Structure 1
């Protein structure tokens, strides 16, 4: 009787421990992570506002920070002033054209008078009251006046072309300056730092009042509503898993109990890698394993870096 009681006392705890182990045995294990986005300023300048703290939940598109835009505003005003002076540098060809047109009018009157005098001289020559030399001189004068009118008209065209060329050179600066204003406006818009995703601020790197640089991190944010368990399986286990498969995720609750969450396999690595030192596989340790990602809806208890186990259903 004593021997039977002693054997029962030894065997019963072993059976209880084995049952307890079998109830919580896992097929894979890993740690929780989240896709993180580091938000940086695209513009250098003083941080006017950064009303966020670690743990703050932000909506996508919400205003997260404001960078001083006064220097950019002054730069824009300077460009606009330069554009305004362009028209002052251009020439008005109309007064010069008007002067040449008046000159042509005078020359035409002179031509009409010369033709009248020539016609009169022709009659006098026929009446032997004037010489042919006088007639020739008047014809020469008429030809000279005609050539002067043609030359003056051509001068109007040359003057217009010259002034237009000069004005075009001045006004050619207009489009690049307008592009510069558009560029400055874009930079001014970027002084408002908009949050890129829905999530929780994980780390804050800067403070209001500091001077930041373009590309310098302001804060890090991640969506903790759905957290990812990166686990590792052996090559033998690959046949047990597939994308969108539902699995059971176990997380320590107390020393003897687990929290259980449903999870969905969203990614399976197509390449083997050496087993991370912190990961234990089903067969204790394997030389090569495959990484998988499991999305788990977070009830607030799951944290980045927390250890989790997976049971394939």
Structure 2
């Protein structure tokens, strides 16, 4: 091999080694990104249509969990609730009267049926006795011992007793037939009770609707970032009312080059440092990575074009969240092995 070729070969080996060192160094070295601290914004929206009456909290105010952040005019639904309550009162009074009437009618009917049954039993007993007497008189008359007059009297008593039984049975049947009227009264009571149940359900729905006119903050303390409506304005369902930030849910938004995308994934642990407190790091975790690159050229023709793309990512702050104010600059560090330990 000529000296010139040997020098070229040595140069290639050196360049290859340097390139490998740089590549491995990037894979195993600490990655550093800079971004801005942001809060997780939550938009509180109207669920119903109504004119805005009040927005109690100004921008920057701390809002306790569940506090009222806006009131809408609920006069219409309030009137409907009052009307429904009056309807409930009328139905409840009707049901009370109907129940009383049903109970009284049923009690009277039971006593009447019991009395008619007792009368029938007495008539049947008298009829049996009259039949026995008539049979005995018939036998005596056949033997010539009893007079025909006594036999006629016994026959008349028997027939009268049997007629009394028939009348008692008819009276009892009519008394028992009154049960149908009681059944009708009970069915009317059931209809009223169904109407009452429906009215109560409708009242419950109206009260749930009315509660939506009082708009409340999320279930955690928050800070008003922006007031989006003002008293007198008309809100529609979905209208943004206020924007709030959770003071304990903050993140640093960064942009990750394509070359680092395989190392920055959701769940990756990192360290975060404020520019205002250099050297003091707190733990963080990648909570979001965009599925598409940003700043993509219209036409990608070369490898350098592809490497110029970046992915938007969010790094959630896990400790000392209150020390990180939205808008301040933060630094995110990722160690070579993908696990970062915070340095205090």
Shift of 1:174: 1.7
Q: Which residue pairs with 2:205 in the alignment?
A: 183
Cα distance in 2 for partners of 1:114, 1:97 equals 26
Rounded to whole Å, the distance in 2 between the matches of 1:277 and 1:307 is: 25
For 1:128, the equivalent position in structure 2 comes to 148
Among candidates 140, 144, 163, match of residue 141 of structure 1? 163
Change (3 A) 1:291 1:159: same
Q: Distance in 1 between matches of 2:229 and 2:172?
A: 76
Q: What corresponds to 1:231 in structure 2? A: 254
Q: Name the residue aligned to 1:274.
A: 293
CA-based RMSD of the aligned residues comes to 4.2
Residues 32-111 of structure 1 mapped to structure 2, 5 A cutoff: 32-86=37-91, 87-88=93-94, 91=98, 92-93=101-102, 94-95=104-105, 98=108, 105=115
CA distance in 1, matches of 2:50, 2:290: 45
More helix per residue = 2
> Unpaired segments of 5 or more residues in structure 2?
1-30, 139-145, 298-303, 336-344
Judged with a 3 Å threshold, the aligned counterparts in structure 2 of structure 1 residues 292 and 116 are, in CA distance, closer, same or farther, namely: closer
| Count, aligned residues | 277
Select which of 270, 275, 278 maps to 1:245.
270
Q: Is the 8 A contact 2:105 2:182 kept in 1?
A: no
Per-residue CA deviation, residues 161-195 of structure 1 (Å, 9 max, x unaligned), is 22111211121112222222222232333333221
1:234 Cα deviation from its structure 2 partner: 3.2
- Find the counterpart in structure 2 of residue 215 from structure 1: 238
8 Å contact kept, 1:272–1:289: no
Structure 1 residue 48: deviation in Å? 2.6
**Which of 171-180 and 118-127 deviates more?**
118-127
Tell me whether 50-59 or 229-238 shows the greater mean CA deviation: 229-238
Could you say if the C-alpha distance between residues 32 and 300 of structure 1 is closer, same or farther in structure 2, counting changes exceeding 3 Å? closer
CA-to-partner distance for each residue in 1:222-264, whole Å, 9 max, x for gaps? 135664222122354357657232144558xxxxxx9787454
- 2 CA distance for matches of 1:218 and 1:184? 22
Gaps of 5+ in 1: 1-25, 252-257
Residues 240, 261 of structure 1: CA spacing in aligned structure 2 closer, same or farther, 3 A cutoff? farther
Match of 1:294 among 296, 307, 315: 315
- TM-score, structure 2 as length reference: 0.62
Per-residue CA deviations over 1:273-295 (Å, capped at 9, x if unaligned) read: 323379xxxx9982454443224
Flag the 1:50–1:221 CA change in 2: closer, same or farther, 3 A. same
* 2: CA distance, partners of 1:29 / 1:276: 17
